[in-house]
């Protein structure tokens, strides 16, 4: 529907709709979104996280958005449209939720692309909610009262925590599936606790989680550690990155993946840094300072718990992640994953994880600078860095992506076993080998002519 | 004895190496596998039975198509680049760099210093398959291409990014009569450039370089281009005879390192290789084209009935009309009688050289005409239009779109949508109220149309007719996606790996061509959106599989005439009939007998565009110059001097260095003339001038300046305007300035017309990329602070801190003054541009000229970026105004996008402005790789469409050829004229 000025009429998500409408959320962070969904439900919303992953999603995306749009937008929108057309939802009782960062890259426009896609498919009556902290889409924002916000932050903390431990457990588990079963069990337990006094006892829960995972029988063989950095959707979403994490695990690697908390702190940090670069003080600055202080504190708590327990590696302290970018790029680079992506690569290398997959949408603008643009310098400073940049888009074939990752893995194995290499790498010098091959050929010729 | 076997299954070839205990090569092989990967491997190893039978074997498989075989046969797999590196370390450890080009892969390995290995990106041709494709285009074998290249005198710039781009560069060169020898060398040069930007990604190729892979060992011309471009001494470039076998060799070495348990007998190896492939398929299948035989019969009958009336030429006497369609790869001729019946028609592959084809045809036609038939009028359309007019005196030239519409209208007066898929391009347009309503041409990136299927068929060992027939009864057509042909190649690879048959692949290709056209080019949602009376044409639709998948995808029947591939020529002939004058200027029989033609390459020096020209000379001494973008190259004087805001802005920017700049001595500040500096330069020039600093600009952009910085570009898919920055930086460093100043600007000025005022990520942060990749900036002081000009007071404080190091005696008060001057200079610049825009608009009103509102970024005024599109437009009679001249007049408006980029906000407003003004249409310039324009172009199109205007988008890249652009703009002009006639009638 359009008004007289040709503007799309955007249906509101009214208070009453809380009861009647199911809000669909696109898939991205499997662990996190389940817990976050619990928060929404507790605050009276009906919510469903989309779990679909069939080929039709890409086709819907291709048909509904400009084909040069970045792959994450194409997938998120394709997944929505595909779901709406599946017949599984009452279209008069469904709404959509999409996040908006408000930064200078295309991602802030996803919500408009989604509305256009809905219009194209005759679904423009479906309300779209924006999840953002930038004051965008005022009438169409998901309201986030403080109580809900705190719970969401806790959901992120728990999910990051569990994801980090799970990643360290699953490649080594003796009984396949045990780690994942524990994740699910803990998810359920946390959902039960939500809203109650137990839920906010982070330290207590952390310890119980650590104990449980530590009890999983594990085979402590030497595995190659591979860090994943990249555009946020492709970094996490199995739909987007062709199940990268499980692929790496199946190739005998341990995945190291920073949490969502880092991205949140990155966003907050940028608002603080804006004061230095642009003189923007005021409310936003002070709120950000407070948020930073709060989040840093929570992260330190998490790190302390893991370190104290002694079985697993804690995530990197965000304060040190911030420092990692120094000497590479300014913290003013804040579009997309900005300086954080570069900093994460260097942080990984500092913590001994030299093998890195950088997952990026084909043609992603910030990635030209913060990922591909920085690899040269990182390699110069850290010759042992083994970084592979993988492009994702609807046409890129999986075989091509896996081939690149395989090369990275082969090199990782090589450098791990470099000791024994010297005596095994024997060969005949090229000139001699060519002469030998030539002689061989000539003698064959003689044989065949004779 | 125990043998080590390396099996390298590449995308097109199979290579094997067998090593004995001493490390001697006892057997090696190299053969094309025609996608019958499994069979060929098995057959080859079977032939080795006498050699292998008695030995214990260690085997490793490698190569892009090797993974599936290794998995199914439970043999060890080794990644191919890794295998290569292993072989090089063992046989030539003093190597610094390895460059390997394979069938579809290109790889580079840096061994000296830090080990780095890279493969071509998902968007990259520049490989063996690319060379094969180009050879096919020139109708020669790769070996002939090689020989030809050695006789080259001149290198044309050919896009080096991927095969499709290069093709659209080469085709017009061919049609303009450029020497094939020169083109051959240019193709190899494109491969070299691709290797440097696409693979080296900012690391210099130097030291001892080992060249591997098939193409590099067979093609001398390619070797030569590499040597010259990299400036390598003979002794530093190694082209080993074993080059094609290196990956297999590495794989054999790798096998040797396997544990003893891995050793197997020959019999066991054969047994493992014969195992049935696992049926776990990652390839998706689509419904077959026909459900039943009856369906097919119905389909065939329906289309076969669409014939066009012919008339026997031998018995006809009277008037006749000739139409020529000088297409990109084919030449079509149609001769009509006075009732539009076909007397004679001809369709032929012109092998890239249309003149002899038409010469011969004209001779034949004159012969067949005898004394009975006179050709009263003639018309030509297609790429070769101008050359044909010059060569043969054809009466009329018309743009392809008009020719096709003329033909389609003749058969179905109600036609409302026409789609033409030819060898190289997709053209389609809707017709509303009897006038062409909107024209869609494929961008250079998706033009893998008919010729693509043909090339593919050939690579699989089929001819096109046979290949397309196979598709009709495929049970499970492979889903190959909808991107460019390079992507399709790898999708096919995957499908083959998963055991797809040639039938399934052929059907899959037909479907993907259609999906490409529908979803990538037309971007249609439904059949309703296209129209009810759809006429399809062009040679590609003669392929029944393509036609069927089009109908299937639309869910609607369409019209294909039996002369589908001749429609352009037919339309041209009709046009000649309608517009024919008393006598035709077509070359006569006598002149034809004496006709001769010679083409020589040259370069135009009349302006900075430096167009490569082809000078055609004919028997009677007439000359025709092609390749030029404006009329000056063709010998004419400056065309009319119509107001051109793009040209104005470019000059205005270059003139913004204040007078007396040369005398300033405090500091020599280098400013690269790139990206946003095309608008901010007046600001910085005035600022530094006021601080008594001398401003040194990098030179004007050019191809050679680009090449200077090419080796430091880290991401080959970034836009060309950003890539050019590397050359500009090198130039500034060479000039030896004290400081280079190029700030990062997240935010632009807030012009009060948008919700936020961001720059795009590339404009905002490219200086960071420069700092991290252009090594030479370490030799100078490079300042790239993050700045905003939005708040003058804050700016003063910030810039003062930033500059204190560079200018130790800097005083705050000076900075205050300099800032004032800077803001004033910027305001002056904007005022001047706005005023010039008003003057241009007034001129257009007074002189009754059509106006093009150009939606573009400030840097699009750089002639190296816009390739002279502005001159082309003025030569067509348009006045050019740019978005920034009028954006402020519209105020702030809500749009259906998040309006958050300053440059783009101007475009939306300018689109509104265009809607409100008659005789004005908007053209949007889009640099390839510009992600933001995926958002903006849809919104601009929407605004224009709702206001009843046309939307024309021109995608530009480093490609220097305006062939497709010209079609678009001429079609736009024709559509505007047609609309005005309709309005007045």
A-chain residue closest to B946, CA distance: A6
Cα–Cα distance for residue pair B205/B193, rounded to 1 Å: 12
Q: Determine the straight-line distance between the first and last CA of chain A, rounded to whole angstroms.
A: 86
Cα–Cα distance for residue pair B242/A432, rounded to 1 Å: 11
Are the folds of A17-144 and A222-258+316-416 the same?
yes
Judged by DSSP in three states, A99 sits in strand
Residue range B201-212: average pLDDT? 86
Cβ distance of B122 and A440 shorter than 8 Å: no
Residue B598's pLDDT band (boundaries 50, 70, 90)? confident
Residues on chain B touching A105 (C-beta within 8 angstroms): 761, 931
Give yes or no for A427 touching B (CB within 8 A).
yes
Report chain B's mean pLDDT, rounded to a whole number.
Answer: 86
The domain segmentation of chain A, as residue ranges, is 17-144, 222-258+316-416
Residue range A331-341: average pLDDT? 95
Cβ distance of A367 and B488 shorter than 8 Å: no
Pick A67's closest partner by Cβ from B119, B253, B520: B520
Give yes or no for A138 touching B (CB within 8 A).
no
* Helix or strand (DSSP H, E) at B537: strand B534-537
Residue B267's pLDDT band (boundaries 50, 70, 90)? very high
pLDDT at A311 over 90: yes
Q: Are the C-beta atoms of residues B25 and A439 closer than 8 Å to each other?
A: no
Give yes or no for A177 touching B (CB within 8 A).
no
Cα–Cα distance for residue pair B408/B416, rounded to 1 Å: 10
Cβ distance of A395 and B933 shorter than 8 Å: no
Report chain A's mean pLDDT, rounded to a whole number.
Answer: 91
**Maximum Cα–Cα distance across chain A:** 95
Residues on chain B touching A333 (C-beta within 8 angstroms): 744, 764-765, 768, 786
Using the structure block, give the residue that is written with the tokens 């399934």: B504
Cβ distance of B242 and A63 shorter than 8 Å: no
Min CA distance, A271 vs chain B (Å)? 13
Interface test with B, best of A10, A109, A355, A435 (most B CBs within 10 A): A109
Give yes or no for A368 touching B (CB within 8 A).
yes
Q: How many CB pairs (< 8 A) connect A and B?
A: 263
For A351-369, the DSSP string reads TT--EEEEEEETT-HHHHH
Cβ distance of A335 and B121 shorter than 8 Å: no
**Least trusted range by pLDDT, from B373-382, B434-443, B510-519, B928-937:** B434-443
Cβ distance of A376 and B202 shorter than 8 Å: yes
**Least trusted range by pLDDT, from A411-425, B91-105, B912-926:** A411-425
* Helix or strand (DSSP H, E) at B669: strand B668-671
Cα–Cα distance for residue pair B230/B243, rounded to 1 Å: 19
Output the pLDDT for position A418.
55
Which residue, B573, B106, B687, B109, is CA-closest to B344? B573
Cβ distance of A104 and B787 shorter than 8 Å: no
DSSP single-letter state for residue B564: G
B-chain residue closest to A430, CA distance: B91
- In CATH, what number does A222-258+316-416 get? 3.40.50.11900
Which residue, B716, B705, B644, B607, is CA-closest to B861? B644
Give yes or no for A323 touching B (CB within 8 A).
no
**Least trusted range by pLDDT, from A425-429, B326-330, B603-607:** B603-607
Cα–Cα distance for residue pair A372/B712, rounded to 1 Å: 12
A-chain residue closest to B490, CA distance: A397
Min CA distance, A335 vs chain B (Å)? 6
Cβ distance of B90 and A8 shorter than 8 Å: no
Give yes or no for A329 touching B (CB within 8 A).
yes
For B898-952, the DSSP string reads ---BHHHHHHHHHHHHHHHSTTEEEEEEEETT-THHHHHHHHHHHHHHHTT--EE
Q: In terms of pLDDT, which residue wins out, B473 or A310?
A: A310
Q: Order the strands of the B330-336 sheet from edge to edge.
A: B342-349, B330-336, B318-326, B373-381, B396-398
pLDDT at B423 over 80: no
For B287-343, the pLDDT digits (tens) are 888 888 888 999 999 998 888 889 999 899 999 999 999 877 789 999 999 999 999
Min CA distance, A234 vs chain B (Å)? 16
Residue range A229-257: average pLDDT? 94
Min CA distance, A392 vs chain B (Å)? 9
Cβ distance of A440 and B25 shorter than 8 Å: yes
Q: Are the C-beta atoms of residues B683 and B823 closer than 8 Å to each other?
A: yes
Give yes or no for A109 touching B (CB within 8 A).
yes
Residue B99's pLDDT band (boundaries 50, 70, 90)? very high
Q: What percent of chain A shows pLDDT beyond 70?
A: 96
Torsional sign, CA B22, B26, B32, B34: negative
* R_g of chain B, CA atoms, integer Å: 31
Residues on chain A touching B67 (C-beta within 8 angstroms): 399, 402-403
Cα–Cα distance for residue pair A332/B746, rounded to 1 Å: 8
Cα–Cα distance for residue pair B479/B282, rounded to 1 Å: 11
Residue A226's pLDDT band (boundaries 50, 70, 90)? very high
Residue range A258-263: average pLDDT? 95
Residues on chain A touching B714 (C-beta within 8 angstroms): 368, 372-373, 375-376
Torsional sign, CA B246, B250, B253, B259: negative
Residue B244's pLDDT band (boundaries 50, 70, 90)? confident
Give ∠ CA B399-B404-B409 in degrees, rounded to 5. 130
Q: In terms of pLDDT, which residue wins out, B920 or B710?
A: B920
Output the pLDDT for position A422.
43
For B441-452, the pLDDT digits (tens) are 765 544 446 667
Give yes or no for A363 touching B (CB within 8 A).
yes
Min CA distance, A442 vs chain B (Å)? 12
pLDDT at A48 over 90: yes
Cβ distance of A376 and B772 shorter than 8 Å: yes
Give yes or no for A314 touching B (CB within 8 A).
no
Pick A109's closest partner by Cβ from B481, B525, B898: B898
pLDDT at B635 over 60: no
CA dihedral of B117, B119, B122, B128, whole degrees rounded to 10:
170
**Least trusted range by pLDDT, from B134-138, B152-156, B403-407:** B134-138
CATH topology of domain A17-144: Rossmann fold (3.40.50)
Pick A395's closest partner by Cβ from B91, B487, B785: B487
For B632-645, the DSSP string reads TTTT--S-TT--BH
Residue range A22-39: average pLDDT? 94
Output the pLDDT for position B445.
47
pLDDT at B7 over 80: yes
Contacts of B866 (CB under 8 A, 6+ apart): B646, B856, B860, B925, B956
For B237-303, the DSSP string reads EE--TTGGGHHHHHHHHHHHTS-GGG-B-HHHHHHHHTSPPP------B---S-SSHHHHHHHHHHH
B-chain residue closest to A337, CA distance: B761
Give yes or no for A231 touching B (CB within 8 A).
no
pTM: 0.86
Residue range A432-448: average pLDDT? 75
Cβ distance of B25 and A436 shorter than 8 Å: yes
Q: Are the C-beta atoms of residues B326 and B385 closer than 8 Å to each other?
A: yes
Interface test with B, best of A64, A67, A104 (most B CBs within 10 A): A104
Residues on chain B touching A74 (C-beta within 8 angstroms): none
Domains of chain B, CATH where assigned:
2-92+249-273 (3.30.420.40), 97-237 (3.30.420.40), 318-411+570-593 (3.30.420.40), 418-565 (3.30.420.40), 648-823 (3.40.50.11890), 831-984 (3.40.50)
């Amino acid at each position: 529907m359009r008004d007289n000025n040709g503007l799309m009429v955007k249906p509101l998500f009214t208070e009453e709709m809380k009861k009647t409408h199911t809000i669909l959320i696109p898939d991205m962070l499997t662990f996190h979104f389940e817990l976050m969904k619990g928060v929404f439900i507790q605050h009276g919303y009906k919510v469903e996280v989309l779990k679909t992953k069939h080929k039709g999603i890409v086709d819907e995306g291709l048909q509904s958005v400009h084909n040069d749009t970045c792959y994450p937008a194409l997938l998120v929108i394709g997944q929505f449209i595909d779901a709406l057309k599946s017949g599984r939802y009452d279209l008069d009782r469904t709404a959509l939720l999409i996040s908006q960062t408000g930064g200078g890259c295309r991602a802030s426009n996803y919500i408009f692309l989604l509305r256009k896609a809905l219009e194209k498919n005759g679904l423009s009556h479906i309300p779209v909610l924006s999840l953002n902290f930038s004051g965008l889409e005022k009438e169409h924002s998901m309201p986030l009262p403080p109580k809900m916000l705190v719970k969401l932050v806790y959901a992120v903390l728990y999910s990051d925590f569990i994801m980090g431990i799970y990643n360290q457990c699953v490649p080594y588990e003796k009984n396949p599936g045990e780690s994942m079963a524990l994740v699910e069990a803990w998810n359920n337990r946390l959902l039960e606790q939500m809203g109650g006094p137990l839920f906010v006892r982070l330290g207590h829960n952390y310890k119980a989680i650590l104990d449980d995972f530590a009890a999983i029988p594990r085979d402590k063989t030497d595995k190659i550690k591979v860090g994943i950095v990249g555009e946020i959707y492709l970094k996490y979403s199995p739909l987007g990155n062709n199940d990268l994490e499980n692929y790496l695990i199946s190739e005998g690697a341990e995945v190291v993946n920073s949490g969502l908390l880092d991205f949140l702190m990155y966003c907050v940090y940028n608002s603080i840094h804006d004061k230095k670069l642009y003189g923007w003080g005021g409310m936003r600055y002070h709120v950000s300072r407070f948020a930073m202080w709060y989040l840093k504190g929570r992260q330190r708590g998490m790190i302390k718990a893991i370190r104290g327990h002694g079985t697993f590696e804690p995530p990197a302290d965000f304060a040190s992640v911030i420092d990692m970018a120094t000497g590479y790029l300014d913290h003013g680079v804040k579009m997309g994953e900005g300086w954080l992506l570069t900093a994460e690569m260097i942080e990984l290398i500092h913590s001994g994880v030299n093998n890195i997959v950088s997952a990026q949408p084909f043609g992603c603008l910030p990635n030209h600078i913060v990922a591909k643009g920085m690899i040269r310098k990182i390699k110069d400073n850290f010759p042992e860095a083994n970084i592979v940049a993988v492009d994702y888009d609807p046409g890129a074939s999986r075989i091509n992506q896996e081939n690149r990752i395989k090369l990275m893995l082969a090199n990782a194995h090589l450098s791990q076993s470099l000791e024994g290499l010297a005596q095994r790498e024997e060969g005949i010098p090229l000139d001699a080998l060519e002469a030998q091959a030539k002689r061989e050929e000539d003698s064959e010729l003689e044989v065949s002519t004779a | 004895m125990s043998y080590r076997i390396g099996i390298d299954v590449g995308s097109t070839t199979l290579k094997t190496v067998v090593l004995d205990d001493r490390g001697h090569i006892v057997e090696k092989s190299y053969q094309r596998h025609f996608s019958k990967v499994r069979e060929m491997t098995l057959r080859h190893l079977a032939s080795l039975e006498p050699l292998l039978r008695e030995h214990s074997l260690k085997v490793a498989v490698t190569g892009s198509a090797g993974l599936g075989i290794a998995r199914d046969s439970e043999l060890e797999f080794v990644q191919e680049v890794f295998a290569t590196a292993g072989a090089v370390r063992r046989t030539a450890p003093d190597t610094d760099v390895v460059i390997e080009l394979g069938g579809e892969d290109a790889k580079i390995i840096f061994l000296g210093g830090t080990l780095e290995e890279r493969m071509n990106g998902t968007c990259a041709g520049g490989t063996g398959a690319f060379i094969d494709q180009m050879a096919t285009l020139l109708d020669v074998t790769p070996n002939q291409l090689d020989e030809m290249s050695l006789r080259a005198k001149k290198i044309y710039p050919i896009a080096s990014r991927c095969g499709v781009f290069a093709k659209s560069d080469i085709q017009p060169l061919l049609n303009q009569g450029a020497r094939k020898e020169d083109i051959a060398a240019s193709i190899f040069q494109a491969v070299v450039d691709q290797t440097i930007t696409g693979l080296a990604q900012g690391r210099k190729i130097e030291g001892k370089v080992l060249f591997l892979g098939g193409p590099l060992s067979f093609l001398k011309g390619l070797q030569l281009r590499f040597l010259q471009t990299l400036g390598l001494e003979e002794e530093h470039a190694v082209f080993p005879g074993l080059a094609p076998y290196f990956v297999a060799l590495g794989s054999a070495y790798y096998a040797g390192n396997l544990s003893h348990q891995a050793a197997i007998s020959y019999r066991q190896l054969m047994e493992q290789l014969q195992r049935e492939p696992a049926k776990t398929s990652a390839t998706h299948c689509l419904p077959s084209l026909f459900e039943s035989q009856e369906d097919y019969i119905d389909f065939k009958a329906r289309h076969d009935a669409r014939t066009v009336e012919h008339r026997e030429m031998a018995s006809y006497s009277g008037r006749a009309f000739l139409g020529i369609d000088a297409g990109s790869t084919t030449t079509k001729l149609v001769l009509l009688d006075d009732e539009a019946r076909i007397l004679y028609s001809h369709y032929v592959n012109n092998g890239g050289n249309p003149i002899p084809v038409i010469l011969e045809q004209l001779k034949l036609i004159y012969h067949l005409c005898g004394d009975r038939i006179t050709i009263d009028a003639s018309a030509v359309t297609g790429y070769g239009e101008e050359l044909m007019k010059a060569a043969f005196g054809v009466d009329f030239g018309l743009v392809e779109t008009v020719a096709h519409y003329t033909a389609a209208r003749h058969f179905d007066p109600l036609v409302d949508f026409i789609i033409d898929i030819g060898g190289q391009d997709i053209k389609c347009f809707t017709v509303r109220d009897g006038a062409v309503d909107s024209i869609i041409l494929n961008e250079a990136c998706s033009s893998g149309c008919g010729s693509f299927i043909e090339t593919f068929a050939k690579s699989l060992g089929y001819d096109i007719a046979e290949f397309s027939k196979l598709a009709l009864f495929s049970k499970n057509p492979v889903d190959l996606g909808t991107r460019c042909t390079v992507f399709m190649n790898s999708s096919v690879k995957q499908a083959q790996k998963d055991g797809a048959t040639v039938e399934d692949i052929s059907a899959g290709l037909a479907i993907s061509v259609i999906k490409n056209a529908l979803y990538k080019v037309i971007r249609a949602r439904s059949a309703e959106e296209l129209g009810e009376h759809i006429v399809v044409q062009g040679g590609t639709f003669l392929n029944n599989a393509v036609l069927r998948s089009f109908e299937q995808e639309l869910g609607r029947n369409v019209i294909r005439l039996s002369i589908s591939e001749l429609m352009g020529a037919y339309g041209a002939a009709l046009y000649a009939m309608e517009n024919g004058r008393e006598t035709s200027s077509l070359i006569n029989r006598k002149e034809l007998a004496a006709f001769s033609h010679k083409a020589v390459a040259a370069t135009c020096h009349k302006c900075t565009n430096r167009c490569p020209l082809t000078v055609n000379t004919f028997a009677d001494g007439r000359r025709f110059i092609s390749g030029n973008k404006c009329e000056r190259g063709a010998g004419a004087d400056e065309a009319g001097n119509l107001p051109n805001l793009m040209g104005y802005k470019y000059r205005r920017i270059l003139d913004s260095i204040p007078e007396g700049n040369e005398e300033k001595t405090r500091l020599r500040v280098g400013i690269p003339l790139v990206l946003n500096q095309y608008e901010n330069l007046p600001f910085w020039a005035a600022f530094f001038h006021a601080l008594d600093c001398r401003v040194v600009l990098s030179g004007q952009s050019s191809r050679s300046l680009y090449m200077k910085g090419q080796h430091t570009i880290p991401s080959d898919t970034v836009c060309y305007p950003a890539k050019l920055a590397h050359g500009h930086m090198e130039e500034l460093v060479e000039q030896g300035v004290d400081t280079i100043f190029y700030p990062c600007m997240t935010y632009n000025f807030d012009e009060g017309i948008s919700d936020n005022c961001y720059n795009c990520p590339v404009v905002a942060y490219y200086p960071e990329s420069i700092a991290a990749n252009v090594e030479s900036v370490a030799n100078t002081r490079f300042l790239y602070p993050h700045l905003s000009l939005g708040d003058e007071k804050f700016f003063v404080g910030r810039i003062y801190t930033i500059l204190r190091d560079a200018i130790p005696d800097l005083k705050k008060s000076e900075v205050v003054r300099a800032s004032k001057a800077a803001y004033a200079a910027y305001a002056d610049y904007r005022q001047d541009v706005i005023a010039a825009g008003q003057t241009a608009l007034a001129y257009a009103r007074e002189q009754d000229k059509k106006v093009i509102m150009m939606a573009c970024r400030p840097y699009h005024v750089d002639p190296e970026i816009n390739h002279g599109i502005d001159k082309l437009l003025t030569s067509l009679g348009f006045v050019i105004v740019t978005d920034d001249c009028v954006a402020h007049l519209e105020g702030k408006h809500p749009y259906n996008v998040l309006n958050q980029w300053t440059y783009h906000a101007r475009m939306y407003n300018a689109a509104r402005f265009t809607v409100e003004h008659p005789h004005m249409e908007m053209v949007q310039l889009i640099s390839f790789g510009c992600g933001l324009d995926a958002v903006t172009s849809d919104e601009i199109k929407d605004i224009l469409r709702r206001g009843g205007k046309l939307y024309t988008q021109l995608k530009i890249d480093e490609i220097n050829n305006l062939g497709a652009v010209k079609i678009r703009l001429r079609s736009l002009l024709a559509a505007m004229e047609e609309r005005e006639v309709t309005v007045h009638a």
